[in-house]
Amino acid sequence: MAEFSATGATEQLPKIGVAVVGTGFGQKIHIPGFKAHSRTEVVAVYHRDPDQANAYANQYDIPHGCDRLEDILALPEVEAVSICTPPFLHYEMAKMVLEAGKHLLLEKPMTLRATETQELYQLATEKGVVAIPDFEFRFIPSWQLLAEYLEKDYVGKKRLIKIDWLVSSRANPERPWNWYAQKDKGGGALGAVGSHAFDYIHWLFGPVQRLCAQLSTAIPARPDPNASNLLKPVDADDTCLLLLELADGTPCQLTISSVTYQGRGHFVEVYGDRGTLVLGSNNLKDYVHGFRLWAATAGQSLMEVEIPQRLAFAETYLDGRLAPFIRVVDHWVQAIDNGSVSTLSLKEGVYSQMLMDVTHESHETRGWVEVDQQKYSGF
Supply the pLDDT for residue 309: 98
- For 252, list phi and psi in degrees, rounded to 5: -135, 130
CA–CA distance, 288 with 86 (Å, rounded to integer): 21
| Contact present, 326 and 34 (Cβ < 8 Å) | no
| Contact present, 191 and 184 (Cβ < 8 Å) | no
Supply the pLDDT for residue 6: 40
- Closest of 266, 312, 268 to residue 285, by C-alpha: 266
Residue 128 makes CB contacts below 8 A (sequence gap 6+) with 339
First to last CA, the chain: 29
Cβ count within 10 A of residue 279: 24
| Contact present, 155 and 270 (Cβ < 8 Å) | yes
| Contact present, 318 and 308 (Cβ < 8 Å) | no
Q: What domains sit in the chain, N to C, each tagged with a CATH number?
A: 9-136+328-344 (3.40.50.720), 137-308+352-370 (3.30.360.10)
Supply the pLDDT for residue 33: 98
- For 286, list phi and psi in degrees, rounded to 5: -140, 125
| Contact present, 75 and 83 (Cβ < 8 Å) | no
Supply the pLDDT for residue 85: 98
CA–CA distance, 259 with 239 (Å, rounded to integer): 7
Q: What is the pLDDT of residues 187-244, one digit of tens each?
A: 999 999 999 999 999 999 999 999 999 999 999 999 999 998 999 999 999 999 999 9
Supply the pLDDT for residue 11: 52
Which residue ranges of the chain lie beneath pLDDT 70? 1-11, 376-379
